[in-house]
Each structure stands twice: as C-alpha cells, then as structure tokens.
Structure 1
C-alpha cells in the first residue's frame, strides 16, 4: 500500500465514523446511508467501509428510493480515487456529480498569524446561532466574488431561523469536543464562520462560508487558519478539507493545504 493510499484510507475511516455521532447508519450492502437524528444539515450515502464489491446503478437506486421515502436529499459523497467505479453507477441513475479538490494540511505548514476579527466560539457564545446562519447565505451565492447579501440580509435570516434547533445541537457537540467553531466578527455580527470536527487525531474543516458582501477581505482564509490552530492545539495530526472549486483551493494552498484526491458529491 502506498503512502498516498494509506492517507486516503485514514480519511475513509474518518468519513465513516464522524456522521455516527449524530446519525443512524442504514446498511445497503456496498452503500451506507446516514440519516441524521434531530436538527441540522441532512447527511448522505457513501461507500460502505471495507466492502469488497462494486456498486451498481441498482444499488444507488435503492438508496435513492429510501431517501425519497425519508424526505431527505438524494445525495451521495465519496472519494473518487478510492471508489473509482461509483461515479458511473451514480450518473447512470440521473444524478449530477460535482468535483471538489480534497486537500490535506502539510505537517510542516506554519501557523498563519491570528486575525483581529477572528475568534473561537464556545458552546454558550451568544453569536453561535448567527454564525451558523452565515454559511446559508454564503453557499446560496457560491464563488469568491463579492455579492449583494450583507448585514441586513443576514439579520433577517438570523431572525427567520431562530428556534430551528441547530444552535442547540452544535452547542452540545462543542461541549462534547466533537465540533469546534470559529467566526470573524465585526460590529456584533459574524461575517464568516466555519467548523472542524475532530475524531481520534483526524479532523475535517467544514462549512467555511463568508457573507457575500464581506468577501475579498481574507476572512475565509483567516477563519480556516484559526481552525487549524485549534485543531493542532487539540492534538490533531491530520487536518483536511474539501475546497469548493479550484479558486478556493488556491486560497487554502496558501495555508499549506495540498491536494491529495478528489471529493465527489452527487445530487439530484
């Protein structure tokens, strides 16, 4: 087994373990469907860990039927280099597949200097709910270009999502040590936020999103750098992420992240 394959196997085991803290796993042979328990982002199906057989279009269709039955998105996530045959099976059922650079932080990458607007958020931080709302606006307007959505749109979205249960769930995950969150805060509002999710010395940085009107200020890079510092302080030896596209990957490369594979996401 090559060093690169060994690294991807480590990520595969992480991918299998991290949803289990807040989801149940349903067995579909070569595929496993993770179904979230409680509020929060819905999960997806992915290749079953250590399953020896290939995945067919019929296998994918069975999972999609179950996802429709549950009223959750028909979504699949996997690493292209680990499960090379899955893309053809997924596309044969009519799903669209998106590619994202999968990047791992170099062990010798230096920490970036702290940013004056960026800090970690605790479980009882009053800005936790607002920070969780920022990515909704960020991902609805993808890319790195400055957009129209700003503080007024964020304030309205924060009010609309009060009581959705997401903040309480993430607060408990922070207390349990399985989620850490950072945000860039200005004038009492988070302009960018992101998380990492440590499990047994490995952590993935996820959900880094910047309010569209606050882009091109280096906030996404600064939040990611703060998450890296926190991950290392917690003893993480492997820190990785999936970049939205090649432009975003170049930003992460400045922090010492190196592309190792391709993360694939399939959606209806």
Structure 2
C-alpha cells in the first residue's frame, strides 16, 4: 500500500455496504504477492515480515496468507517489531481492516498507532471507469504512458515525491525548479533506474501529465495477473486543482483494462483525496490500515 494525493475535489459518494468477500480475497492475495518479487518472507505464525532484498523502499509486516490458527496477539506483534528493529527496518504493519478485524487491537496493544485510509475499487462488474483518460486532460496538457527508456522518467517519478512532501489538495509552493533538483537526486541514487527496470519487466506502468514537456502529475499501477493497484498519484504542488490527478488516474485505469486487468484498486490518504477517485468511477470498498510507532509527545 502506498499513500496518494490529488489536485481536485468532487462530491462525496455514499459509503459502500460490507465488502464482497471474493473481491476482498483477491485483493488480499495481491497484497501478499507484490512484495514477494523483491523480498524474502520471514514467518511469524499469523504474521509475515517482508524483508527487501537489495536497494529500494523497505517493506512491512502483514497477516500471513491462509493462516488457520489463532489470530495474532500483541506478543506476536512485539516479536515482529523486535525483528524489524534488529534488521534496521521501519516498524510498520499494513493490512485491510475488513479482512483481519482482530489485528488492530493487537497492534495497538503492542504500542503502535493505526491510521485509516479509504480503499476504493473498480471491480469486474464496475465497467471501465469514469470519464477522463488521455482525452480528458485539461487544456494545454497531455497524458501518456512512459516506456522504460523515456528520458522523462526521472522527472515524472520526482513529481509524487514533491507532492507527498506537501500533503493535501491545496496549491503548494514546489514547482519546476524543485522538480529539476529532485529528478537529479533520484537519478543519482538509482531510483529512476530501478523504476525503468520495473517498467521494462512489466511490473510497473507509469503515466504522467505533461505541459510544455514538463511532467506536472504522475502515478503508476502495478499489475499482478488480473489485479492491479493504482499508487503514488501525485501532482506538482504548484500545479494542483487543474484536474491532472483525475486525468492520470483515468489513463492508468484505461491502460490496465486494455491489458486484461479485471480489478483495479487503490488506497487514498483520506476522504478528501478519495473524492477525486470517486469521480473517476472508483467506489468505496474497505479500509486500508497502516500501523507505525506513535509520535512522541
């Protein structure tokens, strides 16, 4: 799971009923499968700890797939936390509340703070998604999917980094100068090259909205078989509130559908951010939970 931002707001939709269990299990299998491509898995009974092999963003712990024994306890959580500290990893857990409703109490008893994020979905029955896509880009902008050798990859991946550095949906300060500096940093540390490799292997699809050759919004989807997650959609803070986030999201959904993906989902930072995805056709489905150490008082 990854956090997302938007550059637009829309009217709220009514909450969904209890989630479809078949679709919930499909998403759960996806969450377990994604980190296995770049991590080893350490078994802690009802919990699995993913430990990244090589460079890249570190992973987290989450419920073990298919576990049939007792639910995880606070002591199970503490064992994982001790291992994360031993390995120098972030003390982090991620899961879906509706799939593992008892885990929250154990995680909180172990001393972690739990943050809720709306999980939205476009399932097989939901059609292609809402309006938008490349043809729905705002005046003066174009949206395209980037190939692995595109020279704009470093700048495109830099956009969400800057967006998440200024969270929220209001217009911010970071602009073209900051974009150039962040792109240079992501080239130097290998982030851009790693993303190019994932694009080449088919693990990631990157789309961006451009104006005068400059990426102003970017995001990705990461397919595993018939399921994909839209992640990291962010708009350059100085370019927010122009509909760029919706256009990029729609382009990612269109690409996924055109390539045989049956279920597209995402988790939003909060309800304000989720509104943009409702406009793109996503419906509220469940609650993604992220646990981390509470901030010191």
TM-score of the superposed pair, with normalisation by structure 2: 0.86
- State yes or no: 1:25 paired with 2:41: yes
- State yes or no: 1:85 paired with 2:102: yes
8 Å CA contact retained: 1:204, 1:240: yes
* Alpha-carbon distance in structure 2 between the residues aligned to 1:161 and 1:139: 15
In the TM superposition, residue 112 of structure 1 has moved relative to its aligned partner by 2.3
Structure 1, unpaired ranges of 5+:
none
* Alpha-carbon distance in structure 1 between the residues aligned to 2:242 and 2:31: 31
Q: Secondary structure at the match of 2:251?
A: helix
Pair 171,160 (structure 1): closer, same or farther in 2 beyond 3 Å: closer
**Equivalent position of 2:15 in the other structure:** none
Picking from 85, 97, 108, the partner of 2:114 is 97
8 Å CA contact retained: 2:155, 2:183: yes
Matches within 5 A, 1:34-183: 34-52=50-68, 53-106=70-123, 107-108=126-127, 109-114=129-134, 115=137, 116-183=141-208
8 Å CA contact retained: 1:39, 1:164: no
- State yes or no: 1:265 paired with 2:290: yes
Structure 2, unpaired ranges of 5+:
1-17
- State yes or no: 1:5 paired with 2:25: no
Tell me which of the two structures has the higher relative contact order, counting C-alpha pairs closer than 8 angstroms and 6 or more residues apart: 2
Deviations 1:40-60 (A, max 9, x none): 221111100111221111111
* Alpha-carbon distance in structure 2 between the residues aligned to 1:263 and 1:96: 14
**Equivalent position of 2:242 in the other structure:** 217
Once superposed, what is the RMSD of the aligned Cα atoms?
Answer: 1.5
**Equivalent position of 1:240 in the other structure:** 265
In the TM superposition, residue 203 of structure 1 has moved relative to its aligned partner by 0.5
Query: Where does structure 1 differ by over 3 angstroms across 4 or more consecutive aligned residues?
Result: none
Aligned residues: 267
In the TM superposition, residue 145 of structure 1 has moved relative to its aligned partner by 1.0
8 Å CA contact retained: 2:217, 2:245: yes
* Alpha-carbon distance in structure 2 between the residues aligned to 1:110 and 1:135: 23
* Alpha-carbon distance in structure 1 between the residues aligned to 2:191 and 2:30: 23
